[in-house]
Structure 1
Amino acid sequence: MKISSSLLLLWHTACSVGTVRSNITTLTVDLGYERYSGYFNATASLNIYKGIRYAAPPTGKLRWQKPHAPALNRSHIISATAYPPRCPQNSNSPLPEGYNFTKSGLGNEDCLFLSTFARPNAKNLPVMVWIHGGGYGTGQGNNEFWELLGTNSNDFILVLIQYRLGAFGFLSSGDMVSHGGTPNVGLYDIHFSLQWVQDHIKEFGGDKRRVTVSGESSGAGAVMLLTMASGGGDGNSLFNNAIVASPFLPMQWDLDGSEPTQAYHRLATEVGCAAERGRRLLNQSTFECLVSVDSFTLQNASAHVSGETFGPVGS
């Protein structure tokens, strides 16, 4: 994959680069499960699709479960001209220097979307998948690498992804697992998005055999974890290059370790799912109660539990 030496300088400015505006020409792509209309940006000379669904909404019974494939929806063509809603944020999460993500306001649990940027008539181009940073608690897939793409003559395809964050993406405890929950669902989201690239990037002119996964801060940390996952085998099947910049590598506890378990019970107490509080129903486990809590309540409660608590755990 050809990326110029200016790449590292651009990691730290990507979040502040404004949208390039130009005349717009509508485009359409058929992914089988859904159809999307994007647009051509004449100034940047890029075909752009923002907000393509790569997984089913992780809501209701799918909260704290591995991502599922999107449902078939061919009733209409979906507009892909604006960035998708961001995932719920943890306002206390550590941010790398230079980041200016909004630290307040609610997110949307239905946030597993990605965006693609490719030159017109692209064919068999290498692909770069960008994983945003933000301490595993904040961030959004809206980094616009106009300069990076332009410097490289738009000779690769860019994919920006979103993944579950904070308690929604990295809640963990032995109780959670014993009642059917899955730790590290944020990492499973990233893995699922890379599988989407393998299945669909050809529709945008990309070569699935030449995928570079990249990120900064916690995004870079996630890249490092991906390179080790499945005994390193994912690097053979989902990507063949990796770029990490300033990786955020917090302490990795066991899934039922003291720190994640304490955070789990603090969150349960905040929303009234602890045994001594009133929201929990008779014969309902703490985890089942957490699954039933409305998103507004859970997001506000998550903000009161340290953002640094939630991150990847070991088995």
Structure 2
Amino acid sequence: MRNFAYLRPDSAKDAVAMLTASQPGARYFAGGTTLYDLMKLGVEAPQTVVDITGIEELRGIDVSPKGGIRVGALVPMSDLAEHAMLKQNFPAISESLWKAASQQLRNMATIGGNLLQRTRCPYFRGSPEFACNKRAPGSGCSAIGGANRAHAVLGASSACAAVYPGDLAVALVAFDAVIETISPRGQRFVAVRDLHVVPGSTPAIEHVLAPDELIVRIEIPMTPAGRASAYHKIRDRESYAFALASAACGVHLAANEVVDVRIALGGVATRPWRASAAERSLIGKPLTRQSARRAAEIAFAEAVPLQHNRYKIALGIETVIDALMLAKDRS
């Protein structure tokens, strides 16, 4: 790890000013569960770290003026996962948090930082001798023809097939959550659905936030589909592994027909993946295992597997079906 300057502001406004004055090569630090790992691996080498953990205005969980749930960016994953209002109105989001990591990590990792965690692709985090366009743009992608069992079947390109690793963002995408940010240019609102980008020809660009932009809070709008929801995650081992396939699903049924349905996919795509066409296929119809299978197959209709990850298509389809059935049981 290289030496770096350390700054600790008392307010969000001061944090933005400090980071802006320290660019290029400055990073915000919250829980540190991703940044410090990447610094030790040599993937990240910030010249300045701006520690925002002392900013009280970035904490707290409450009801937003619009009636949704508002969450400060510094709220620990564990606090949000166990919050009564979230568990009642969005069980899928609560489940995405407690299935994501060990208790120790959930106590440290923050909501804002969790959204911006970087891929766990071994070529990205491994030896510099491996080509990785995320770490060294233009160097190539060792995963395309290499060990790609855990890589994406949706949203990949010839330059990168790394999976977005998080769970929370998948659930937030399903329920139309929005993040609020501040920067020297003022306040901005970004739908979590639009936060992350597919790699295309520029895999090093992973999201739409500017380097000087700070997430201050997340807002989750209330919806009946949130109350009847589930996050289903398939992994190599039961405890705290990254998803091979996951699905956040919510349903609102009336007279045994689907009024609203939400389907988002994780573990199979280069960003949290909203399956809008699959959702549309269910509207106005009874939710049965058969109709759920049709929707799941639509969700993976454009999947493009690599040499070693074709199994993710069948696995992902079954994951969506099971998540929809779990959500129906809770409706």
Whose relative contact order is higher, 1 or 2, with alpha carbons under 8 Å and at least 6 apart? Answer: 1
Q: How high is the TM-score relative to the length of structure 2?
A: 0.29
Q: TM-score, normalised by structure 1?
A: 0.30
